[in-house]
């Protein structure tokens, strides 16, 4: 990427990618695995309860926001089509805005 060039993606793309990461991470057995600069254990442990179907949490936890901070969202976009049926995609799409990361596009 050229210096000074900003990579943007939609909030929906970011969220879908994050949820897909949850699914991929939950299926893998390796501890401490980093995917797209995000620690999968931290994302699973801190974000899944917000994204699970039927969740009534008003917003993702601070720990969830911290878990996804610094992630390579362009990299995470490649996982957006791997959502598990127990993940509420609409809630997942709220993560970037609720964490204050703003809108962008894949």
Distance CA 36, CA 74 (A): 8
Distance CA 54, CA 30 (A): 28
* Residue-level pLDDT at 75: 76
N residues, the chain: 106
17 against 82, higher pLDDT? 82
Residue extents of the structural domains in the chain: 11-98
Q: What is the pLDDT of residues 8-54, one digit of tens each?
A: 555 556 666 676 666 665 555 555 678 888 888 888 889 899 989 99
**Statement: the pTM of the whole predicted model exceeds 0.85:** no
For tokens 């990299």, the residue is 75
Q: What DSSP string runs through the chain?
A: --TTPPP---HHHHHHHHHHHHHHHHH---TT-EETTEEHHHHHHHHHHHHBTT---SS--HHHHHHHTT--HHHHGGGTT---TTB-HHHHHHHHHHTT------
CATH architecture of the domain 11-98 equals Orthogonal Bundle (1.10)
For tokens 């720990």, the residue is 63
């Amino acid at each position: 990427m050229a210096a000074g060039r900003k990579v943007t993606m939609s909030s929906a793309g970011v969220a879908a990618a994050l949820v897909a990461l949850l699914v991929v991470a939950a299926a893998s057995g390796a501890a401490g695995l980093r995917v797209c600069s995000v620690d999968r254990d931290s994302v699973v442990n801190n974000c899944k309860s917000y994204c699970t179907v039927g969740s009534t949490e008003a917003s993702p936890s601070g720990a969830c926001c911290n878990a996804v901070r610094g992630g390579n969202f362009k990299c995470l976009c490649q996982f957006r089509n791997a959502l598990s049926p127990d993940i509420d995609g609409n809630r997942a799409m709220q993560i970037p805005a609720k964490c204050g990361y703003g809108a962008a596009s894949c």
